[in-house]
A and B are shown apart, each in its own frame.
Chain A
Amino acid sequence: MNSLTETKRRPTDWQGAEMQQRIARRYAAERRFKALGMAAVMLSASFLAFLLVVMVGNGFRGFTQTELPVEIDFPAVTGGASPSQFQGPNANANVQSMGLREIVDSSIEIQYGQDGTNLFSSGGWTAVNAMILSNPDIVEQKATVYLPVISEIDVAYKDAGNPEAEQKVRELEDKLSTGFNWNFLSNSDATDPMQVGIWGAFKGSLITMIVTLLLAFPVGVLAALYLEEYAPKNRLTDLIEVSINNLAAVPSIIFGLLGLAVFLNFFGMPRSGALVGGLTLALMTMPVIVITGRNAVKSVPPSIREAALGIGASPLQVVFHHVLPLALPGILTGTIIGMARALGETAPLLMIGMRAFIATPPSGITDPATVLPVQIFLWSDEVDRGFVEKTSAAIIVLLLFLLTMNALAIYLRNRFETRW
């Protein structure tokens, strides 16, 4: 055997040209493979960068609005209203009754001609309303207010619009200016892109998230404690574990179907409300909390439990006085991650009717509400070009919240999680 191989094969000539070539080839393959891996990572990261650049580039303009100055001679048009009328408890009613809309429109017509009002966004006069309430002295003066123009001119001024609007922009070039769009932060949904805002959707998201948290957190934590600390090894426990793992992988839209069939049609809960939305999202978030909670409970070392048992604590006292406080940072991290996912969720909420046009912010858990991601979806469907930048601006707000929540989760993990 030994002699056979020796006669058939000469010792390898490592320094020979053939061998050198072969090694060079293998090293080249190694470099190519490594470069390929690097390229994959960079490509993935550049997708993220590209997405962010597109959203920020589009959305940044959503926070600004194009304005034209309007001079309002308050003493003349109001017939001598005094500032004291707009202070105190009756201020709101008095402003409402003064016919502000006509006042603003007539001031516009004086300066921009008969068709002047066509230049301005129809809800712009509400800005004057707010101005009087915040500074009643203004009604004794001549004041120049900056009012938002119609969406077509806004688009044309910022970017490129239709020829008609471009023509208008050229005519008014020296008067047009850009200001911060406060409406966007304080208004709700509207049909005019110049008047839309995210406050209603934001409030809806907030209420929905509170409902979700109140339901999913206690149930998730208690279930995690039971499964990790007390559950006997039997059929029922296996069934619970299988259910939880399944629920974590069920597509979110299925939860929407559940909410529609059970909460809306069977229990008859109010449609489009934050209550049903929160319930549906809670069912979705609970498995996430259970799974991360179990890992956090598992990582508490047995010596803690044994020490507590050793000094006479009951099994329940061991868990609630010792294990739970130590596992809490881990559980909170998981909860925040689960809540961040719920905050960005859209599909199940479409199923339970949270896609209606809602122009007033909800004030309770049963009021019709919408949430940020659904608002983004609704605006993305609008034909008006003015909505493009608003959609992206809303996306920026949503991403900011998600990033903050994730950063908080990472901070909690690094700050409080103990390595045993």
Chain B
Amino acid sequence: MTSATLLFLIIGLGLFAWFFGRLKASGLKASGKSSRSALHSLPNYHGWYVALWAIVPAAIFMAVWSFVSPALITDAALASPASAGLPQGAFARAAILSEARAIAYGNQVNAFNPLSQSMVEPYRDAISYYQMIGAVAALLMVFACGVYAWLQIKPDLRARTKIERVTMLILLLASLIAIVTTVGIFLSLVFETARFFSMVSPIDFLFGTEWNPRAVAGPRGETGFGAIPLFWGTVFIGAIIAMIVAIPLGLMSAIYLTQYAPAKLRAWMKPILEVLAGVPTVVYGYFAALTVAPALRDFAVSIGISGASSESALAAGVVMGIMIIPFVSSMADDSIAAVPSAMRDGSLAMGATHSETIKKVLIPAALPGVVGGVLLAVSRAIGETMIVVMAAGLAANMTVNPFSSVTTVTTQIVQLLTGDQEFDSPKTLAAFALGLVLFIVTLLLNLIALRVVKKYREAYE
């Protein structure tokens, strides 16, 4: 019996438990009407009480059993006569055992080592033996606990209180998943980065200017893991070119839509701009690589720029800027709307035109919010992956020429992890180090941005 069938069986028995618990409680309710022995909780809660008692201990037992049983199975297999021919060396022994185990579980079809084949049968016997023990024990637990809970059903059993306590625990656990995920991200990145830094010095990584990752160090000990060109490429595309496109367009769109546009135009244009944010990044990447990049290269060649690449920083940056427009625009929209209308009305009453009011009163007042929004946009742009993977190049250049090719942190993460899949080579581990840098930088940008926005909100409240 596999664990999945067993789990379904237990849940099915839980349904029965629910039914019987409810039945008994309903009986008590019918007999106890208008007397002092009225039920404390509704019959439903008694049903849940019995069902939870039936399922939860058995499920916990199954989880524990799945951790314990592999060791027991191996012991049992080794105790069998077939294990006599096994080599004494611990390493060779472990290799044969793991192969036999894989075959016995059905993950592998044929053995490379004939000795493994001989161990398959003992393994199969041990597995079925211990699986049977586990299944029987789990089912016994379902019955024992279910009957115990069923016997407990009395009019004054506070079933609802108990069920609610369990539900609260589940709610709390669901919220804790967020913390677990954050800690998981941080730990997995830090752990792999530490392994990377045991092979490559952190100074070389953070301040080196040559990015040419290879598995073995070069003749003068150089490893080619200098990440400065990647950082520059990321900043150049995400924080400079993309923002040059997105800030003016996003800000002016927000100003026009909130201050000038007739209601009807606003009702149409706002969703259209939001669609820009909903287009998947892989589509932008394809658009950049297929349409924008060749057009920009032809343009560069026609105005006489030599060395224009078809994978230019400009193409990736411009398309990323387009993607960011709705983001900047909605942040600017929010912060302009938060400026007290008294300030705007006062300026207009003094005879300033609309544009003068906007330029001299609204924007200065909304500036902290706008800056916070731009920081959030930057953090999103530098973490963006598909556009740069598809449209920016792989050459780690330190250049300010937007028509040449640069590479970014995210591009290199994808590049490093999709090539060879040796998990211990510094090449794959470098991806985690880059990921950690990216994680910390975006985290800081977000924290700063949120603080700026919050401070500014408070100023007007």
A residues in contact (CB < 8 Å) with B: 26-27, 29-30, 32-34, 36-41, 43-45, 47-48, 51, 54-55, 58, 218-220, 222-223, 225-227, 230-231, 239-240, 243-247, 249-255, 257-258, 260-262, 265-266, 283, 286-287, 290, 314-316, 340-341, 343-347, 350-351, 355, 373-374, 376-377, 380, 388, 391-392, 395, 398-399, 402-403, 406, 410
Q: Do A380 and B286 touch across chains, with their CB atoms under 8 A apart?
A: yes
Residues in B neighbouring A219, C-beta threshold 8 A: 174, 177
Q: Do A243 and B249 touch across chains, with their CB atoms under 8 A apart?
A: no
| Residue B178 CB within 8 A of the other chain | yes
Q: Do A376 and B283 touch across chains, with their CB atoms under 8 A apart?
A: yes
Q: Do B355 and A346 touch across chains, with their CB atoms under 8 A apart?
A: no
**Provided the pairs A223-B171, A249-B442, A380-B390 are in contact, do residues A398 and B280 lie with their beta carbons within 8 angstroms?**
yes
- Chain B proximity of A188: nearest CB distance (Å): 18
Using an 8 Å CB-CB cutoff, how does the interface string of B277-314 with A read, 1 for contact, 0 for none?
A: 01111111111011100000000000000000000000
Q: Do B383 and A223 touch across chains, with their CB atoms under 8 A apart?
A: no
| Residue B325 CB within 8 A of the other chain | yes
Q: Do A41 and B172 touch across chains, with their CB atoms under 8 A apart?
A: no
Stretch of B70-78, B141-149, B411-419 that contacts chain A: B411-419
**Provided the pairs A36-B252, A261-B188, A347-B386 are in contact, do residues A247 and B182 lie with their beta carbons within 8 angstroms?**
yes
Residues in A neighbouring B320, C-beta threshold 8 A: none
Query: For residues 369 through 408 of chain B, which have their beta carbon under 8 Å from a beta carbon of chain A?
Result: 376, 379-380, 382-386, 389-390
Q: Do A251 and B438 touch across chains, with their CB atoms under 8 A apart?
A: yes
| Residue B361 CB within 8 A of the other chain | no
Residues in B neighbouring A340, C-beta threshold 8 A: 278
- Chain B proximity of A300: nearest CB distance (Å): 17
In the complex, the chain B residue whose C-beta lies closest to that of A253 is: B385
| Residue B160 CB within 8 A of the other chain | yes
Q: Which residue of the partner chain, among B354, B418, B450, contacts A245 with CB atoms under 8 Å?
A: B450
Taken together as a complex, chains A and B put the C-alpha atoms of A243 and B65 apart, in Å, by 33
Q: Do A55 and B439 touch across chains, with their CB atoms under 8 A apart?
A: no
In the complex, the chain B residue whose C-beta lies closest to that of A251 is: B383
Query: For residues 230 through 276 of chain B, which have their beta carbon under 8 Å from a beta carbon of chain A?
Result: 248-253, 255-257, 259-261, 269, 271-273, 275-276
Q: Which of A231, A254, A265, A341 has the most CB of B within 10 A?
A: A254
| Residue B55 CB within 8 A of the other chain | no
Residues in A neighbouring B273, C-beta threshold 8 A: 41, 44-45, 48
Residues in A neighbouring B211, C-beta threshold 8 A: none
Taken together as a complex, chains A and B put the C-alpha atoms of A211 and B16 apart, in Å, by 28
Q: Do B355 and A29 touch across chains, with their CB atoms under 8 A apart?
A: yes
Q: Which residue of the partner chain, among B171, B174, B192, B379, contacts A261 with CB atoms under 8 Å?
A: B192
Query: For residues 130 through 160 of chain B, which have their beta carbon under 8 Å from a beta carbon of chain A?
Result: 160
Using an 8 Å CB-CB cutoff, how does the interface string of B4-38 with A read, 1 for contact, 0 for none?
A: 00000000000000000000000000000000000
Q: Do B410 and A253 touch across chains, with their CB atoms under 8 A apart?
A: yes
Interface of B is mostly: helix
Residues in B neighbouring A240, C-beta threshold 8 A: 175-176, 178-179
Using an 8 Å CB-CB cutoff, how does the interface string of B171-206 with A read, 1 for contact, 0 for none?
A: 110111111011011001101100000000000000
- Chain A proximity of B325: nearest CB distance (Å): 5
Residues in B neighbouring A266, C-beta threshold 8 A: 188
Q: Which residue of the partner chain, among A44, A377, A395, contacts B249 with CB atoms under 8 Å?
A: A44
Taken together as a complex, chains A and B put the C-alpha atoms of A43 and B251 apart, in Å, by 13
In the complex, the chain A residue whose C-beta lies closest to that of B275 is: A48
| Residue B167 CB within 8 A of the other chain | yes
Q: Do B355 and A33 touch across chains, with their CB atoms under 8 A apart?
A: yes
| Residue B164 CB within 8 A of the other chain | yes
Q: Do B179 and A243 touch across chains, with their CB atoms under 8 A apart?
A: yes
Chain B residues with a Cβ closer than 8 Å to the other chain, count: 87
Residues in B neighbouring A351, C-beta threshold 8 A: 413-414, 417
Q: Do B280 and A346 touch across chains, with their CB atoms under 8 A apart?
A: yes
Residues in B neighbouring A225, C-beta threshold 8 A: 171
- Chain A proximity of B160: nearest CB distance (Å): 7
Taken together as a complex, chains A and B put the C-alpha atoms of A55 and B432 apart, in Å, by 35
Q: Do A27 and B285 touch across chains, with their CB atoms under 8 A apart?
A: no
Q: Do B252 and A347 touch across chains, with their CB atoms under 8 A apart?
A: no
Q: Which residue of the partner chain, among A58, A258, A287, contacts B184 with CB atoms under 8 Å?
A: A258
| Residue B358 CB within 8 A of the other chain | yes
Q: Do A246 and B410 touch across chains, with their CB atoms under 8 A apart?
A: no
Report, nearest first, the 10 A-B pairs whose CB atoms are least far apart.
Answer: A251-B383, A37-B256, A344-B280, A40-B252, A222-B174, A33-B355, A347-B385, A261-B188, A226-B171, A243-B178
Q: Do A253 and B435 touch across chains, with their CB atoms under 8 A apart?
A: yes
Residues in B neighbouring A37, C-beta threshold 8 A: 252-253, 255-256, 259-260
- Chain B proximity of A119: nearest CB distance (Å): 28
Taken together as a complex, chains A and B put the C-alpha atoms of A75 and B438 apart, in Å, by 67
- Chain A proximity of B150: nearest CB distance (Å): 23
Taken together as a complex, chains A and B put the C-alpha atoms of A99 and B160 apart, in Å, by 69
In the complex, the chain B residue whose C-beta lies closest to that of A351 is: B417
| Residue B322 CB within 8 A of the other chain | yes
Taken together as a complex, chains A and B put the C-alpha atoms of A137 and B198 apart, in Å, by 71
List 15 A-B pairs, Cβ < 8 Å: A27-B353, A44-B276, A45-B272, A220-B174, A222-B175, A249-B380, A251-B442, A254-B189, A258-B184, A287-B178, A341-B278, A345-B280, A350-B417, A388-B290, A406-B275
Q: A41-B273, A44-B249, A54-B290 are in contact. List 12 more A-B contacts (CB 8 A).
A: A45-B269, A47-B322, A51-B284, A246-B443, A252-B383, A254-B435, A255-B185, A257-B413, A314-B164, A347-B389, A377-B282, A395-B286
Q: Do A257 and B188 touch across chains, with their CB atoms under 8 A apart?
A: yes
Taken together as a complex, chains A and B put the C-alpha atoms of A243 and B383 apart, in Å, by 18
Q: Do A265 and B185 touch across chains, with their CB atoms under 8 A apart?
A: no
- Chain B proximity of A65: nearest CB distance (Å): 21
Q: Do B179 and A253 touch across chains, with their CB atoms under 8 A apart?
A: no
Q: Do B168 and A316 touch across chains, with their CB atoms under 8 A apart?
A: yes
Residues in A neighbouring B279, C-beta threshold 8 A: 48, 51, 344, 399, 402
| Residue B345 CB within 8 A of the other chain | no
Residues in A neighbouring B191, C-beta threshold 8 A: 261
Taken together as a complex, chains A and B put the C-alpha atoms of A314 and B273 apart, in Å, by 45
**Provided the pairs A249-B376, A253-B435, A258-B184 are in contact, do residues A44 and B280 lie with their beta carbons within 8 angstroms?**
no
Q: Do A395 and B283 touch across chains, with their CB atoms under 8 A apart?
A: yes
Q: Do B170 and A222 touch across chains, with their CB atoms under 8 A apart?
A: yes
Query: For residues 398 through 456 of chain B, which have their beta carbon under 8 Å from a beta carbon of chain A?
Result: 410, 413-414, 417-418, 423, 431-432, 435, 438-439, 442-443, 446, 450
Residues in A neighbouring B176, C-beta threshold 8 A: 240
Residues in B neighbouring A220, C-beta threshold 8 A: 174
Taken together as a complex, chains A and B put the C-alpha atoms of A316 and B279 apart, in Å, by 40
Residues in A neighbouring B417, C-beta threshold 8 A: 257, 260, 350-351
Taken together as a complex, chains A and B put the C-alpha atoms of A376 and B252 apart, in Å, by 33
Q: Do B172 and A251 touch across chains, with their CB atoms under 8 A apart?
A: no
Q: Which residue of the partner chain, among B174, B278, B286, contacts A391 with CB atoms under 8 Å?
A: B286
Residues in B neighbouring A54, C-beta threshold 8 A: 287, 290-291
In the complex, the chain B residue whose C-beta lies closest to that of A48 is: B276
